[in-house]
């Protein structure tokens, strides 16, 4: 973990202070989503409002089926918005673009490309000069600690490694915002914890603006600077919770009183289905 040993000079209190409050990166305004199907219309989300500031790590939690993935896909421009508006930086989104990188729950590395070529994909598309491409690839291979796998094909990697490459591929493209939809939910608990730590460390150093969907409350509290809790379908924002926890985090944080208290608080806000 030597790579992340506090090179950055950042205030050590809460990340809330670091975020430039005037600078909204993602602004979701009165968004509604209706799915039309043969069986009729489904109101998946209604009246969703949220704000992600520059350099913030924001998590969205909520019961299954409340529309977390839908919301993220709308921000990515992959799903249409039925009503309302989503503003990235200062423009309303109309479709997908390289300004919004995404890491998916399913493994989405391009299987015919090596790890390095996967990371390079977005840079090639954007016609970044070759030597710059190589430098960026080197940098991110180091960040995800997979230098040795530069020339491996995705089928030779474990699930956790694949997701690390997917994160590197998205970050290498230097998007305005990074969208993540339950990227660690298919991993075993040990790998998942390692990935959470890595993700937090990457964020502490690189400071990307992240919108992260999960249904794992512990994960949300550990990673984020702010949590939005959604209600069950039709999903809408139930509560916005700032996460006042130390800036430098490692896995031992999960055992602290403050962490457990916050985790319980968030948990109590989630609608539980009657089974």
**Based on CB atoms, which residue is closest to ligand ATP, 64 or 190?**
64
Q: How far is CA 184 from the centre of its chain?
A: 10
Stretch that binds ligand ATP, among 67-75, 187-195, 221-229, 253-261 (CB under 6 A): 67-75
Could you say which of ligand ATP, Mg ion, other proteins, none residue 65 binds, taking C-beta under 5 to 8 angstroms by partner kind? ligand ATP
Could you say which of other proteins, ligand ATP, Mg ion, none residue 168 binds, taking C-beta under 5 to 8 angstroms by partner kind? none
**Bridge partner residues of 230 (DSSP):** 237
Q: Is 25 exposed, middle or buried (0-12, 13-18, 19+ CB in 10 A)?
A: buried
SS3 percent helix, strand, coil of the chain, rounded to 5, is 40, 25, 40
**Contact with ligand ATP (CB under 6 A): which of 10, 27, 42, 47?**
42
Which among 156, 152, 150, 175 has a CA at the least distance from the CA of 93? 175
Q: Which 199-238 residues touch Mg ion, going by CB under 5 A? A: none
**Contact with ligand ATP (CB under 6 A): which of 2, 64, 91, 252?**
64
Please state, in angstroms and rounded to a whole number, the distance separating the CA atoms of residues 59 and 266: 12
**Based on CB atoms, which residue is closest to ligand ATP, 19 or 74?**
74
Please say whether the beta carbons of 220 and 61 come within 8 A: yes
**Based on CB atoms, which residue is closest to Mg ion, 61 or 221?**
61
* Token pair for 171: 């970050």
Which among 200, 206, 246 has a CA at the least distance from the CA of 13? 246
CB of 42 to ligand ATP, least distance (A): 5
Query: Rule CB under 8 A: is residue 121 a binding residue for other proteins?
Result: yes
Query: Rule CB under 6 A: is residue 37 a binding residue for ligand ATP?
Result: yes
Stretch that binds ligand ATP, among 34-42, 120-128, 138-146, 155-163 (CB under 6 A): 34-42
CB count in 10 Å sphere of residue 114 = 18
**Contact with other proteins (CB under 8 A): which of 4, 35, 153, 247?**
153
Stretch that binds other proteins, among 122-130, 183-191, 225-233, 236-244 (CB under 8 A): 122-130
Stretch that binds other proteins, among 13-21, 141-149, 151-159, 227-235 (CB under 8 A): 151-159
Query: Rule CB under 5 A: is residue 173 a binding residue for Mg ion?
Result: no
What strands lie across the sheet with 177-181, from one edge to the other? 100-103, 177-181, 209-213, 57-61, 226-230, 237-242
Q: At what angle do helices 130-143 and 115-125 cross, to 10 degrees?
A: 130
Total count of residues recorded for the chain = 275
Which residues are at the interface with other proteins (CB under 8 A)? 76-78, 95-98, 100-102, 104, 106, 108, 110-113, 121-122, 125-126, 153-155, 166, 169-170, 173, 175, 179
Which residues are at the interface with ligand ATP (CB under 6 A)? 35, 37, 42, 44, 64-70, 215, 233
């Amino acid at each position: 973990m030597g790579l992340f040993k506090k090179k950055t000079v950042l205030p050590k209190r809460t990340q809330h202070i670091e975020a430039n409050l005037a600078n909204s990166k993602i602004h979701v305004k009165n968004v509604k989503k209706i799915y039309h199907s043969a069986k009729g219309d489904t109101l998946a989300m209604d009246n969703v409002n949220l704000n992600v500031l520059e350099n913030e790590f924001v998590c969205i939690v909520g019961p299954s089926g409340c529309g977390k993935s839908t919301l993220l896909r709308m921000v990515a421009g992959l799903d249409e918005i039925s009503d309302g508006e989503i503003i990235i930086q200062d423009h309303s989104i109309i479709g997908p673009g390289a300004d919004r990188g995404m890491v998916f729950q399913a493994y989405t590395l391009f299987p015919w490309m090596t790890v390095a070529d996967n990371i390079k994909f977005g840079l090639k598309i954007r016609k970044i000069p070759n030597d710059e491409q190589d430098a960026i690839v080197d940098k991110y291979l180091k960040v995800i600690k997979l230098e040795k796998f530069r020339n491996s094909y995705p089928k030779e990697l474990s699930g956790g490694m694949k997701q690390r490459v997917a994160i590197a591929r998205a970050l290498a493209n230097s998007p305005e915002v990074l969208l993540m939809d339950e990227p660690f939910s298919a991993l075993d608990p040990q790998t998942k914890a390692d990935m959470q730590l890595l993700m937090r460390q990457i964020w502490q150093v690189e400071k990307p603006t992240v919108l992260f969907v999960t249904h794992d409350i512990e994960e949300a509290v550990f990673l984020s600077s702010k949590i939005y809790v959604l209600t069950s379908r039709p999903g809408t924002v139930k509560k916005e919770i700032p996460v006042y926890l130390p800036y430098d985090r490692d896995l031992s944080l999960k055992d602290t009183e403050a962490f457990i208290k916050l985790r319980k608080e968030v948990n109590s806000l989630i609608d539980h289905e009657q089974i």
